[in-house]
Amino acid sequence: LPEDVKLELPYAFYSEFKPGDLRLSVWLEHSTDGKTYRVSVYDSVVTIVEPEISILDFKLIATYLMVATILGGLAYLAYLNFVPQTRSRSKKSFTSSQPSATTTATTTGAGSYQEEWIPEHHLKKFKKSSGAATSGDEISGSELSSTEGRKRKGKK
C-alpha cells in the first residue's frame, strides 16, 4: 500500500476493561521472498466507552422476561406449598342433621357412632384363631368389662 492511502477497517472490540484510555498497538507480519517483515499499523491511545443502552433492546427484554418467569414460577410453587389453602364449602344442602329412623347407632365406652357411615369391610367381625394373638385380635382396655380386664392384668 502506498503511504498516503488511508484504509479504514471497522471492527467491534468487546473489551473487559472499565471505561477509560488505553494504548493500542497493532502490527502486521508478512513475508515476502522468504523474509519476514513486521510493520506497525496502528500505535495510539484509544478510549473505551460503554455502549448506549436502549430501552427497546431485544436481548435485555428477553432476559428480563425469562428471569421474571422463573421467579414467578418459584413464587407460585412457594405459595402452593407454604400458604394454607382454604377449602370451599360444598354446595350440597343437608336436609336434616338428625339421624334417620333406619340408622343403627352403636354405643361403646368411647361414645356412639352410626354404622351407615362406616364401610362394610370395616364392620366385618373376624373369627379369632386359636394361637398367638395378633395386633388385630387384641382388645383395647375400653372394650373389656371390669372383670375381664382384671383377669387379663393378672396373667401378665
pLDDT at 156 over 60: no
Type of residue found at 101: A
SS (H, E, C) 1-25: CCCCCCCCCCCCCCCCCCCEEEEEE
Note the pLDDT tens digit of each residue in 17-62: 788 898 989 888 988 898 999 988 889 998 888 878 788 888 889 9
Distance in angstroms (rounded) separating the CA atoms of residues 63 and 58: 9
Q: Which of 122, 124, 150, 149 is nearest to 138 (CA)?
A: 149
**0.75 surpassed by pTM:** no
Distance in angstroms (rounded) separating the CA atoms of residues 128 and 134: 9
Tell me which residue has cell 508478512.
Answer: 30
Distance in angstroms (rounded) separating the CA atoms of residues 50 and 18: 8
Q: Which of 52, 60, 55, 61 is nearest to 19 (CA)?
A: 52
The CA-to-CA distance between both ends of the chain, in Å, stands at 114
**Cα dihedral sign, 19-17-57-60:** negative
Note the pLDDT tens digit of each residue in 67-95: 999 999 999 999 999 988 887 766 655 55
Note the pLDDT tens digit of each residue in 108-152: 555 677 778 888 888 776 555 555 555 655 566 555 555 555 555
* Confidence (pLDDT) at 114: 77
